[in-house]
């Protein structure tokens, strides 16, 4: 019980850490990638024009080919 709340809180904390550490992570598939601290998820983001844009939060247990295709689809769609 409560694991869903813990999951969301953990990913939100990881995402909020980007306000301090954006741009220091390695690049993958054209995006910076922050690995989640607690769960096997990655936060893919871009840095530009004085802001951070989170493009995807994806499960790292997926096939890397699926991840690449998903990120390419999102980058072609442009900013929301």
Q: Residue 80's pLDDT is what?
A: 52
Decide: residue 28, CB within 10 A, 0-12 exposed, 13-18 middle, 19+ buried. middle
pLDDT digits (tens, 9 = 90+) for 27-54: 999 999 999 999 999 999 999 988 999 9
Helices (H), the chain: 3-16, 18-21, 64-77
Are the CB atoms for 74 and 63 separated by under 8 Å?
A: no
CA dist 36 and 57 (Å) reads 9
Q: Residue 79's pLDDT is what?
A: 59
pTM for this entry: 0.89
Are the CB atoms for 58 and 44 separated by under 8 Å?
A: yes
Residue 1 in this model has a pLDDT that exceeds 80:
no
Residue appearing with tokens 């601290």 = 37
pLDDT digits (tens, 9 = 90+) for 51-65: 999 999 999 999 999
């Amino acid at each position: 019980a409560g694991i869903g709340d813990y999951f969301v809180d953990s990913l939100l904390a990881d995402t909020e850490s980007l306000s301090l550490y954006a741009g220091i992570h390695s690049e993958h598939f054209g995006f910076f990638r922050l690995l989640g601290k607690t769960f096997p998820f990655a936060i893919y983001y871009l840095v530009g024009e004085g802001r951070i844009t989170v493009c995807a939060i994806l499960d790292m247990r997926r096939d890397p080919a699926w991840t690449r295709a998903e990120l390419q689809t999102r980058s072609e769609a442009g900013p929301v």
